Amino acid sequence: MSLNSGLSIAPLHPKEKERLEALAAYELFGTQPEHQFDEIVSLVAQICGSSSALLSLVGEDLLWFKSRYNYAAESGPRDGSFCSHAIMHDDVMIVEDASLDERFNQNPLVTCPSTHVRFYAGAPLLTEDGLPLGVICAIDDQPKTMTPLQVQTLKVLANQVVAQMNLHRSVARMQAINQNKDKFFAIIAHDLKAAFHGILGFSEVLDTDFDELEDKTKREIASYLNESSHTTYKLLENLLEWARLENGAMPYRPKQLQLDSLVEETVAGLQFSAAQKNIHIEIQLQPEIWVHGDRHMLHSLIHNLIGNAIKFTPEYGTIRIYDETQQDKVIISVEDNGMGMTPEQVQRLFKGDHNQSTKGTHGEKGTGLGLLLCQQFVQQHHGLLEVKSSVGRGSTFSFSIPLSAKVLS
């Protein structure tokens, strides 16, 4: 059975978009029951003296019953449900006799003899920002009243559910961080070892056989040492940025930024690299677009994406930077007409699989950290980083960031 009726549809929450985003961040919708939630739901039924109890997460169209006590269904439609009404309340919503409540007296759960729902009491699960994620509720087939102590206890148990949800989210985040650390350390160990093997090997050759080497060979060794040193320095630079981000030493400090000025400033620092391959960089941005973002993170993000485009674009190629506004965000794209990638290569991009890395059109080496940092910087701005690519035709990296209030007003 489901707590649903098409006869009394609750209005959407005033902050429905933010509410759904908050719910998604917990990554609990659609997941199976867990004992820490089951214990609380069982306690709700005992405290309220009800035959059934639920921990109901309210999604866009569905209710997901994360935990159930004496209740068979795993989910139900949102429209017309008791829970869709309950999330509109800051306090406990109590329906003592649903047959006498005009919102629910025609609900099949109330009118059907096999279910015969009469009593419902639901406490919203509120985030620190006051956004309701769902409801913890008691259900019975007999009319009931609740004492002040029962009401207060139900609210306390709702707070305990939210505390468990926060703990669940924190554990998931820590697991993700540990996975990222393992990934990054594998990249670092591989890159540093390879770089220093070359640097130490050729340094030893110069030290022991300098007088016997031809000038051409000396120049080739010097060029290799210079390139390896720059690559290793970039690796350490990316590593430092990642470490600062993970340790909270790189706080997210958004402010109003003029997009074209930020991009032009970043491109200016890459013109020398582009000129070495005779690559033309076109900036095609709308004027007077202001974004809400962290200057350092966005500079590093754009620098990495353009740097990658230069790496994989052949001589006399073109890189185009353009934007598109959509409601409350702007999508910035870096497009090149370079080597391009297969669908399999695109899927591996953000997995940190260094063994599958590709050299640039001039044999340039990457650090393996750049795109992973880009992804994290975009996530800090609550945006998405997307890639479109075709072998031999080039790639386009696009990311979204919020427009500033200056533009929206």
Domain boundaries, the chain: 16-171, 253-408
Whole-angstrom CA distances from 119 to 52, 54, 249, 340 are 10, 13, 51, 62
Q: What percent of the chain has pLDDT over 90?
A: 55
Q: Give the sign of the dihedral formed by CA 88, CA 94, CA 100, CA 104.
A: positive
Q: Return mean pLDDT, the chain.
A: 86
Q: Are strands 255-258 and 290-293 parallel, antiparallel or unpaired?
A: antiparallel
Tokens of 153: 């206890």
Distance from first CA to last CA of the chain, Å, rounded?
47
- 395 close to 309: Cβ distance less than 8 angstroms: yes
Is pLDDT above 90 for 350? Answer: no
Helix axes 148-209, 16-26, angle to 10 degrees: 60
d(CA 246, CA 341): 30
pLDDT for position 200 = 82
Cβ within 8 Å of residue 3, ≥6 positions away: 56, 63, 76, 81, 82, 83, 107, 109, 117, 120, 139
Cβ within 8 Å of residue 391, ≥6 positions away: 339, 340, 341, 342
pLDDT for position 4 = 44
φ and ψ at residue 120, rounded to 5 degrees: -145, 135
pLDDT for position 125 = 97
pLDDT for position 188 = 64
Q: Please name which of 169, 66, 166 lies closest in space to residue 126, comparing C-alpha atoms.
A: 166
pLDDT digits (tens, 9 = 90+) for 230-276: 767 766 776 677 667 666 666 788 999 999 999 999 898 888 888 88
Q: ∠ CA(198), CA(351), CA(200), 5° rounding?
A: 10
Q: Please name which of 154, 6, 197 lies closest in space to residue 84, comparing C-alpha atoms.
A: 6
Query: Could you say which architecture CATH assigns to the domain 253-408?
Result: 2-Layer Sandwich (3.30)
Q: Please name which of 363, 333, 370 lies closest in space to residue 349, comparing C-alpha atoms.
A: 370
Q: What is the pTM for the complete model shown?
A: 0.53
Q: Give the sign of the dihedral formed by CA 226, CA 231, CA 234, CA 236.
A: negative
- 115 close to 109: Cβ distance less than 8 angstroms: yes
DSSP single-letter state for residue 99 = G
Tokens of 247: 């340790």
d(CA 374, CA 377): 5
pLDDT digits (tens, 9 = 90+) for 308-349: 899 899 999 999 999 999 989 999 999 999 999 999 888 888
d(CA 34, CA 31): 9
Q: Please name which of 380, 378, 274 lies closest in space to residue 332, comparing C-alpha atoms.
A: 378
Tokens of 187: 């990249």
Whole-angstrom CA distances from 372 to 7, 53, 307, 336 are 49, 43, 14, 20
- 277 close to 362: Cβ distance less than 8 angstroms: yes
State the residue for tokens 């148990």: 157
Average pLDDT over residues 156-172: 91
Is pLDDT above 50 for 17? Answer: yes
Task: Pick 347 or 96 by higher pLDDT.
Answer: 96
φ and ψ at residue 98, rounded to 5 degrees: -65, -25
Which CATH superfamily groups domain 16-171? GAF domain (3.30.450.40)
